[in-house]
Amino acid sequence: MSTSKKSAADKTQNTQINQSWGGRFNEPVDAFVARFTASVDFDQRLFKHDIRGSIAHAWMLSDAGVLTDTEAQTITDGLEAIASEIETGKFIWSIALEDVHMNIEAALTAKIGDVGKKLHTGRSRNDQVATDIRLWLRDEIDTIALLLSALQTGMIELASAESDTIMPGFTHLQTAQPVTFGHHLLAWNEMLERDFGRLKDCRKRLNHCPLGAAALAGTTYPINRNHTSTSLNFDKPTENSLDSVSDRDFAIEFCAFASILLTHMSRMSEELILWTSAQFQFIDLPDRFCTGSSIMPQKKNPDVPELVRGKTGRVNGHLVSLLTLMKSQPLAYNKDNQEDKEPLFDTVDTVRDCLRAFADMVPAIEANKAEMYKAAKRGFSTATDLADYLVGTGIPFRDAHEVVGKAVAYGIAESKDLSDMSLEELAQFSDQIKNDVFSVLTLEGSVAARDHIGGTAPTQVKAAAARALEKVGSR
């Protein structure tokens, strides 16, 4: 909308004083200010949870004798009708009514008359919004938990299938020791497993009901906070009314979870991108996860992992936004908190999309076993195994290290891997090297020898995958 159009709209909009709080006002709020302070454009997303919270509140009030059962029922019917109007796109949102809460309350009163005005008894938008976001985020967390579990399941199954696929393991991105591709995938799964734990932790801590805190100090009505808490499936009511309306830790905590998760997925993306390159050629991603170039016909770009890596930036940004939003706020509620929603909503959307993309893509990764094997052979990845072999003959490790260093230097000069050297060639570096050395110099021998919990031996990887799958399945 252009500025001139906006100001025309501003002039035509606000001719009336807000009905919800305008009693002490002599003039309507400035039209621009109304737009500036309104949140309805984005917080309408909370409508279902707002209505659910209101219905719970109405029945608590009737239980406490503040409303009659008939009034609570009339309110419930009205709110349910409004929910279906919103769902079918018939509801008209008004900026003048500021936010989702007042839009729905005004529509309720228009629909059922003065009984609608009784709904807000013993409640404030401050505890209302604190409740709504918790209810909304709790549902989103449950969806995200399912997506994360689906991704983990696909990843672990691929790991099990690739438990004996040999690839180079890296430190400093230099070939270090051979590992199996399955082992590498299970390392990724460990990151996700901890992320899942953080998500569950966040859900546990947010699951306390703020309703009843009212504006900040509680309310004089004979409310029953356990009633609303139980009917909204919270674990218990919050302990302190001031904290209840001001706390947004749960949103920050969720964003911290999201940042760490996306950081992990960004690292995975980085590896996928490297591995699909002509320089590595370790894997293929199916065409449906890639795009081409409009100028270079040969290109197949790994867009999905690149975008996930890129989106990590905005999710990290949202975490910083929320931390900064909170850092100087005095107790209790401040309007600043209205700014919590857009970063939180976008974080949820981004996490869901990234998980969905990964859950589809990861099981479809095709390992290029021959290239991985060749690469593992190229970088003297069994040098440590040769040193360990020499230690087995009684040579101190430091001396063995030196001997192998010399053999590697020879290999570089001759362009030969240790396993491709003859016994004669190897024996020039130590007379302790005998014919049995070749069983440890092979890539297969090297990985099989790391046969302990957490090691890369194919049997260990299979067993670890089975354990990981059981953990995910038992959630």
Rank residues 336 and 366 by Cβ distance to ligand ARG and give the closer one.
336
Q: Rounded distance, CA 402 to CA 106, Å?
A: 82
Q: Rule CB under 6 A: which of 185-244 touch ligand ARG?
A: none
Determine contact, residues 335/392, Cβ cutoff 8 Å: no
Catalytic residue among 2, 4, 172, 294: 172
> How many alpha carbons lie under 13 Å from residue 121 in its C-beta half-sphere?
24
DSSP 227-269: HHHHHTT-SEE-S-HHHHHH--HHHHHHHHHHHHHHHHHHHHH
Could you tell me which residues come within 8 angstroms of residue 115 by beta carbon, excluding any fewer than 6 positions away? 71, 74, 75
- Report, in Å, the least distance between residue 24 CB and ligand ARG: 14
Separation between Cα atoms, residue 329 and residue 41, nearest integer Å: 24
C-beta separation of 358 from 151 below 8 A = yes
Residues 312-351, interacting with ligand ARG (CB under 6 A)? 333, 335, 337-338
In the complex, minimum distance from the CB of residue 101 to ligand ARG, in angstroms, rounded to a whole number: 6
| Nearest residue to 258 via CA among 302, 304, 198 | 198
Answer for the pair 86, 254: CB distance below 8 angstroms, yes or no.
no
Site mask for ligand ARG (CB under 6 A), range 106-125, x = bound:
-------------------x
What secondary structure letter does DSSP report for 310?
H
259 to 278, contacts with ligand ARG by CB under 6 A?
none
CB of 44 closer than 8 Å to CB of 93: yes
- Check if the beta carbon of residue 385 is closer than 8 Å to that of residue 441: yes
234 vs 214: CA distance, rounded Å: 17
Which lies closer to ligand ARG via its Cβ, residue 129 or residue 383? Answer: 129
Output 284 or 339, the one with its CB closest to ligand ARG.
Answer: 339
Structure tokens at 2: 């252009």
The smaller minimum CB distance to ligand ARG, of residues 126 and 269, is found at 126
* Least distance CB 99 / ligand ARG (angstroms): 4
Q: Does 99 bind ligand ARG (CB under 6 A)?
A: yes
* Most distant CA atoms of the chain, gap in Å: 101
**Closer to ligand ARG at the Cβ: 181 or 254?**
254
Total residues interacting with ligand ARG, rule: CB under 6 A: 10
* 74 interacts with ligand ARG by CB under 6 A: no
Could you say which residues in the range 21-40 bind ligand ARG, by CB under 6 A? 39
Cβ-based nearer residue to ligand ARG, 136 or 389: 136
Separation CA 458–CA 54 (nearest Å): 56
Q: How far is the CB of 320 from ligand ARG (least distance, A)?
A: 20
Question: Of these, 129, 179, 211, 261, which contacts ligand ARG (CB under 6 A)?
Answer: 129
* Closest approach of ligand ARG to the CB of residue 153, in Å: 37
Instruction: For the CB of residue 215, give the shortest distance to ligand ARG in the complex, in Å.
Output: 7
Asked whether the beta carbons of 130 and 247 are under 8 A apart, the reply is: yes
Residue 335 CB neighbour total at 10 angstroms: 8
- Please report how close the Cβ of residue 384 comes to ligand ARG at its closest, in angstroms: 58
| Cβ 219 to ligand ARG shortest distance, Å | 15
Active-site residue, 172 included:
yes
Q: Which residues have CB under 8 Å from 23's CB, separation 6+?
A: none
Burial (CB count within 10 angstroms: exposed 0-12, middle 13-18, buried 19+), residue 372:
buried
Could you count the other beta carbons within 10 Å of the beta carbon of residue 199? 22
Judged by beta carbon, residue 155 or residue 348, the one nearer ligand ARG is 348
Q: Tell me, residue by residue from 52 to 71, as one string, x for binding to ligand ARG by CB under 6 A and - for no binding.
A: --------------------
Compute the least distance from the CB of residue 214 to ligand ARG, in Å.
11
Candidate residues 54, 62, 126, 381; the one interacting with ligand ARG per rule CB under 6 A: 126
In the bound state with ligand ARG, the residue whose beta carbon lies nearer, of 123 and 184, is 123
Reported as half-sphere exposure (CB side, CA atoms, 13 A), residue 450 has a value of 19
Nearer to ligand ARG, 82 or 457 (CB): 82
Quote the CA–CA distance of 309 and 4 in Å, as a whole number.
Answer: 40
Round to whole Å and give the CA distance between 71 and 172. Answer: 69
- Give residue for tokens 């919590």: 340
> Of residues 7, 84, 277, 293, which has the active-site annotation?
293
The first and second tokens of residue 155, run together, are 């990843």
- Residues tagged active-site: 172, 293
Footprint on this chain of ligand ARG (rule: CB under 6 A):
39, 43, 99, 125-126, 129, 333, 335, 337-338
